[in-house]
Amino acid sequence: MVQVENISKAEAVKEQSRQLRGHIARDLGAEATHFDEEGRALLKFHGVYQGYDRDSATLRKQRGEDKLWQFMVRVRIPGGRLTAAQYLALDALAGGCGNGSLRITTRQSIQFHGVSKAALKPTIGAINGELLTTLGACGDVVRTVTTVPAPVRDAVHCRLEDDARRLSVHLLPSTRAYHEIWVEGRPWDEKTEAEETPDALYGDRYLPRKFKIGLAVPEDNTIDVLTNDLAIVALFEGERLLGYNILLGGGHGMTQNDAKTFPRLATPVAFVAPGDLFDAAAAVVELHRDFGDRGNRRHARLKYVIAEKGEDWARERLSESLGKPLDPCRPMPPFAVPDHLGWHEQGDGKLYLGIPVASGRIADDETAALRSALREIVGRFGTDPILMPSQDLILSEILPRDREAIAAILERHHVRSANDLLPVERWALACPALPTCGLALTEAERVRGEIVSAIAERLARYGLENERLSIRITGCPNGCARPYGGDIGIVGRMPGFYALFVGGDFVGTRLNLPLADRIPLAGIADALDPLLALFARHREEGEGFGDFCYRMGMPALREALAEERRGAA
């Protein structure tokens, strides 16, 4: 275990929280519109982020008014699977507790934005009433377990879906504080000490930082499995499960100008038999718990442990935990990312439909009534929604006879279909950023359309409009939309300015590299233009844009940018 003389303030808060209780129950009933710093830190474990409306903050300050405090509530949804009834209940909550929208995250969850303090308890209580939870959706614990979204009814996909659910339950914090506060509504008593002992897996300090798990197969890496702390790749021979490759130390978060922090892809550590998956996953969590940096939260992710101690060391520790030697990872086929938008066969006579959702925002606006359309379809046909890591939505369990009626509802509500999108629109991600995220340095979701449209124009200029290209946009370097993978990463640096990253690959096995810094919003497409021109002229057959940039190398790409600037001058 890493020993530190002075643990961080966050570690002290967790240790003294009485298994995540703190003063949350007391402060819920207080007149204040927000929680203190201790409460803010502990709320994350309960699936709640405290923030404020950053659009109005300056004006309110000038008027001598307090910030407009509000909360984000995130639901823990393993593999993004919801029943029709659960989705309709969440939709009803969106209409009454937040800003009128549901937001699909890149980790197959739902977030509610703009929730008031007074609405927290009824909102979370209603979520639990639908056999869902917000516990562990945020905080220094294992978060939502992601997996392949396609509802194909074969042994491979059914196993992945079942594993994701069981892993989520197996690694959920055991504290009773969550139900006491949000479900039972037990009054807070300062003199009452928690009777339960520290969590058997997490201890009294929980983990040094958040912990993410993804479960995939090489044939479908839609979830970007290698960006997880624990990347699990299931290996099958036909429909027979051979076991799992365990890869460790992925994560995209970084801090600008801090060399101790960096994005990293998970690297191969061990192969485990089918019956050892849950013990192995718990052992990896314990590895992070015992060896993660508790003195510096910016250096506290598992990726830094693996980068510094190595894969062989990690395999030895896991072998000790499981009581038997583990072999290195087995060879894997190349990764692929299939397209789940549009109509597909489930394999059991039913259909599923992938519906594009720009930035994951399910709402009604002046262009389309997406939220109303989904409510009508799910309510009328009983389709079970599945949240995609691309921020899109799958409607499953569709009877073939209902296909035309569902298509008509979407058309009547002006919802764009997959066929209406250019490939560059189809594969673009953006984090929420402003005005709801306290970490955002600049815009992401609200400028996604502007950025993608400008790049689409440049692609058309060079005859590349049908090129499959992934663009990931984030408002800060923490990387919630996975900008350090894919073809193009656009990362907020300061208000109105971004850093550009290129050279990753579409299927998620290589990181992007920094190309240019402090590019203004209106200049992003201009900065990429000479690279797209080069790509059109010199690409090899079947080569993607990220692969082309990697082959050319950063010096050549930067020289192309410099030549463009000299020509413009």
pLDDT (tens digit per residue) in 272-287: 999 999 999 999 999 9
Q: Is the dihedral of CA 35, 39, 41, 42 positive or negative?
A: negative
Residue pair 180/188 in contact (Cβ under 8 Å)? The answer is: no
pLDDT of residue 266: 98
Give the confidence band of 97 by pLDDT, cuts at 50, 70, 90.
confident
pLDDT of residue 382: 98
Give the confidence band of 1 by pLDDT, cuts at 50, 70, 90.
very low
**Residue pointed to by tokens 């290996």:** 235
Residue pair 171/283 in contact (Cβ under 8 Å)? The answer is: no
**Per-residue model confidence as pLDDT tens digits over 232-245:** 999 999 999 999 99
Average pLDDT of span 165-184:
96
Distance (Å, rounded) from C-alpha 364 to C-alpha 361?
9
Q: State the CATH class of domain 342-420.
A: alpha beta
Residue pair 482/472 in contact (Cβ under 8 Å)? The answer is: yes
CA neighbor of 561 nearest in space, from 526, 513, 536, 522:
526
Beta carbons within 10 angstroms of residue 154's beta carbon:
13
**Per-residue model confidence as pLDDT tens digits over 321-337:** 999 999 999 999 999 99
Position 483 pLDDT exceeds 90: yes
Look at residue 198 and give its three-state secondary structure: coil
Percentage of the chain exceeding pLDDT 70: 98
Q: Which fold has domain 424-568?
A: Sulfite Reductase Hemoprotein; domain 1 (3.30.413)
Distance (Å, rounded) from C-alpha 471 to C-alpha 119?
35
- Helix H or strand E segment including 167: helix 155-170
Average pLDDT of span 488-517:
97
Q: How far is CA 32 from CA 39, 60, 67, 339, 453, in A?
A: 12, 17, 12, 47, 43
| Amino acid identity, position 477 | P
pLDDT of residue 192: 56
Look at residue 236 and give its three-state secondary structure: strand
Tell me, rounded to whole angstroms, the distance of Cα 51 from its chain centroid. Answer: 19
pLDDT of residue 327: 98
Give the confidence band of 381 by pLDDT, cuts at 50, 70, 90.
very high
Domain range 142-172+207-337, its CATH number among 3.30.413.10, 3.40.50.80, 3.20.110.10, 3.40.50.10800: 3.30.413.10
pLDDT of residue 292: 97
Beta strands, E only, 507-559: 513-520
Structural domain boundaries in the chain: 142-172+207-337, 342-420, 424-568
Average pLDDT of span 524-532:
96
Across the beta sheet with 48-52, the strand order is 48-52, 69-75, 110-115, 102-104, 361-362
pLDDT of residue 59: 95
Distance (Å, rounded) from C-alpha 272 to C-alpha 52?
45
Q: How far is CA 185 from CA 125, 177, 256, in A?
A: 9, 10, 42
Give the confidence band of 514 by pLDDT, cuts at 50, 70, 90.
very high
Residue pair 67/54 in contact (Cβ under 8 Å)? The answer is: no
CA neighbor of 106 nearest in space, from 519, 524, 508:
508
Average pLDDT of span 155-165:
98
Are 142-172+207-337 and 342-420 in the same CATH fold? Answer: no
Give the confidence band of 216 by pLDDT, cuts at 50, 70, 90.
very high
pLDDT, mean over the chain:
95
Look at residue 82 and give its three-state secondary structure: coil
pLDDT of residue 186: 83
CA neighbor of 437 nearest in space, from 143, 144, 33, 113:
113
Q: Exposed/middle/buried for 137, CB within 10 Å: 0-12, 13-18, 19+?
A: buried
Q: Which two tokens stand for residue 223?
A: 């979830």
Average pLDDT of span 439-459:
97
